[in-house]
Structure formats: structure tokens, C-alpha cells
């Protein structure tokens, strides 16, 4: 059966959803674009693709029982704004790449999903990331010690070993070890049904450890760090990202975490076929 002949409705007796969508909630570097107090060409651009909230993403799909699911990939400081823009009303899993401010400083906001869903939310990351999150959010993870009994998120912290997988309501998520400078972090690979998969989400990387390559094989959709053209000690440059994308061989590679050095319209012309700049709100399916 060709892709064009796929049934319009998801088949609900098989796991996964051929209509799964990955939405880029933010595609900017840690300070966001525009940069505060900057009047460069990008920061004053009227092209909406040059306005970049902090990098994170959302995978939406319908599970085998017909329930709509939402998996969040990092929850950064712009999460409230992203949630309102995309009408996010639940989080079935939160998968973290690492604990830098621009990737986890929105976790307070998910208390609203707890209220809407009436359940705790599993937050999954490597041991270092979860330890950091528990320290930063002591008022959530050790709430018995709060002075007042205030409204805080209900999160279940789960440490995952690099290379291990978990089931997200029928979609398999695998924690893929990556390097962010000297810091070991995670990329996430998703295996499910439909043209989006296998999908790899790899932000804040500049090194791929040898043991991770087998997790990247067969990737169809790749979301990859591509900071800027100038070199950086902890992020892939655009040229390095293009090289990595060529080695991984995904049909579609979308770069994220760009600084204000990148002016979308001007610089997109410099990318080879199959590689593109992401922008806030871009939906991959």
C-alpha cells in the first residue's frame, strides 16, 4: 500500500498512529530570538520564522485505544506561551534531554495538566538530569517541606539508562546518548507507525558517541541541533549539522536551537536538499 493510499482514520487495533505529528514549540537558542536589547537584522526581522522561543517539541498521536496522547520533549521557560499557542491540555510523558535552564525551567507550568488530567505526570531523563531537576524543583519533589501548602506540579521522576527504551502508549521511545560539549545528554528516538517514524530528536549536541550510531540508523525524520555558522564548544555548527545529517541519512532533517546569526530566508538557501531550518510551530508528520 502506497503512502497516498493510507486510510484517513487511524487503525485503532494496532499500536501507534500513522497521523502522529511532531510540533516544534520553540527553535531558538538559550536566550531566545530576538535577543534582549539587540537590533540586528534577525532580531528586527518581520519574518515570523525569525522569532524563536526556547527549543522544545511536542509529539501528538492517538493510541491503540483511541485516546489522544501528548509527549513533551523538554519544558523550557517559554512553555506557558507555547501551551497557549498550541492549545496543549495534557502531557502523558515528559522526556528530558538535559537540565539546562532553557530546557527545564518551565516544569512548574505543567501543574495545570495535572489539574486537567487528574493524574501525576512521568518525567523521564538520565540520572544526572533527574537529580538536577529534583534539586531545582525541591518545592515539587519534596513538597511536604513547603512552608505553605501551595499548588505545585505532581511529577513522577524516572531515571532511564542511556540506550534503554520505554513505551509511550504504543510508541517506543529510546534514550540515545549524545555529547553536549563534555556533558553527556540524551537524544530521543521514537519508533511508531506512519511516515514520521523512526524519528530522532537531538538538540544541544555536538558529538555522537560510537555506541549511539546504531540508534540513528534508519532515521526518517531528524530534528538536529544547528546553532550558527561560527564554531561553538557545545553545539553543532550548521556545517557540522549538515555533515551529521548526511551520515545519518534521514529523508528530512530539520535544524533547531538557532541563534540570531541565522536569518531564515537568507540562510535557508545555503542548506543542501533534505536539510531545512525549523521554525516555531512547524509540524512534522
Residues within the interface to Zn ion (CB under 5 A): 30, 35, 38, 40, 43, 100, 102, 204, 260
Min CB(217)–Zn ion separation in Å: 25
Residue with cell 512548574: 108
| CA 200 to each of CA 120, 155, 177, 221, 241: distance values in angstroms, whole numbers, following the listed order | 26, 25, 12, 6, 14
Closest approach, Cβ 167 to Zn ion, in A, equals 27
Q: How many residues does the chain have?
A: 285
Residue 180 Cβ, how far from Zn ion at the closest point, in Å? 5
For Cα atoms 63, 22, 82, give the angle at the middle one, nearest 5 degrees: 110
Nearer to Zn ion, 51 or 90 (CB): 51
DSSP-assigned letters across all residues of 241-258: HHHHHHHHT-SEEEEE-B
Residue closer to Zn ion, measured from CB, 35 or 158:
35
Provide, rounded to whole angstroms, the least separation between the CB of residue 81 and Zn ion.
17
Q: Which is nearer to Zn ion, 17 or 204 (CB)?
A: 204
CA 113 centroid distance within chain: 18
- Tell me the pairing of strands 93-95 and 199-202: unpaired
- Of 125 and 192, which CB lies nearer to Zn ion in the complex structure? 125
* Smallest distance, Zn ion to C-beta of residue 259, A: 8
Residue 230 CB neighbours (<10 A): 9
To Zn ion, the closest distance from the beta carbon of 75 in angstroms equals 13
Nearer to Zn ion, 40 or 217 (CB): 40
Strand-pairing partners, residue 170, are none
Task: State the Cα torsion 71-199-263-243 to the nearest 10°.
Answer: 150
Which residue bears the cell 519508533?
191
In the complex with Zn ion, the residue whose CB is nearer, 126 or 204, is 204
Q: Cα separation of 108 and 155, whole Å?
A: 10
Alpha carbon 102 to its chain's center = 12
In the complex, least distance from residue 172 CB atom to Zn ion, rounded to whole angstroms: 25
- How many other C-beta atoms can be found within 10 angstroms of the C-beta atom of residue 281? 17
Whole-number Å distance between alpha carbons of 172 and 191: 5
Select 155 or 258, whichever has its Cβ closest to Zn ion: 258
Amino acid at each position: 500500500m502506497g503512502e497516498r493510499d493510507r486510510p484517513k482514520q487511524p487503525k485503532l487495533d494496532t499500536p501507534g498512529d500513522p497521523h502522529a505529528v511532531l510540533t516544534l514549540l520553540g527553535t531558538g537558542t538559550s536566550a531566545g530570538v530576538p535577543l534582549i536589547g539587540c537590533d540586528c537584522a534577525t532580531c528586527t526581522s518581520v519574518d515570523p520564522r525569525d522569532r524563536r522561543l526556547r527549543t522544545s517539541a511536542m509529539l501528538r498521536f492517538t493510541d491503540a485505544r483511541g485516546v489522544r496522547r501528548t509527549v513533551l520533549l523538554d519544558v523550557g521557560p517559554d512553555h506557558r506561551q507555547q501551551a497557549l499557542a498550541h492549545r496543549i491540555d495534557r502531557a502523558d510523558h515528559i522526556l528530558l534531554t538535559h537540565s539546562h535552564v532553557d530546557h527545564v525551567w518551565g516544569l512548574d507550568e505543567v501543574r495545570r495538566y495535572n489539574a486537567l488530567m487528574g493524574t501525576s505526570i512521568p518525567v523521564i531523563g538520565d540520572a544526572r538530569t533527574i537529580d538536577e531537576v529534583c534539586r531545582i524543583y525541591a518545592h515539587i519533589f519534596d513538597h511536604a517541606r513547603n512552608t505553605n501548602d501551595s499548588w505545585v506540579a505532581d511529577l513522577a521522576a524516572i531515571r532511564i539508562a542511556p540506550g534503554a527504551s520505554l513505551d509511550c502508549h504504543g510508541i517506543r521511545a529510546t534514550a540515545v546518548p549524545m555529547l553536549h560539549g563534555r556533558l553527556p545528554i540524551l537524544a530521543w528516538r521514537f519508533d511508531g507507525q506512519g511516515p514520521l517514524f523512526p524519528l530522532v530528536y537531538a538538540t544541544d549536541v555536538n558529538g555522537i558517541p560510537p555506541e549511539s550510531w546504531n540508534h540513528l540508523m534508519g532515521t526518517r525524520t531528524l530534528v538536529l541541533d544547528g546553532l550558527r555558522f561560527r564554531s561553538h564548544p557545545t553545539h553543532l555548527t550548521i556545517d557540522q549539522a549538515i555533515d551529521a545529517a548526511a551520515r545519518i541519512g534521514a529523508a528530512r532533517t530539520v535544524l533547531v536551537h538557532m541563534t540570531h546569526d541565522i536569518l531564515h530566508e537568507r540562510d535557508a538557501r545555503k542548506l543542501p536538499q533534505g536539510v531545512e531550518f525549523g521554525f516555531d510551530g512547524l509540524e512534522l508528520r
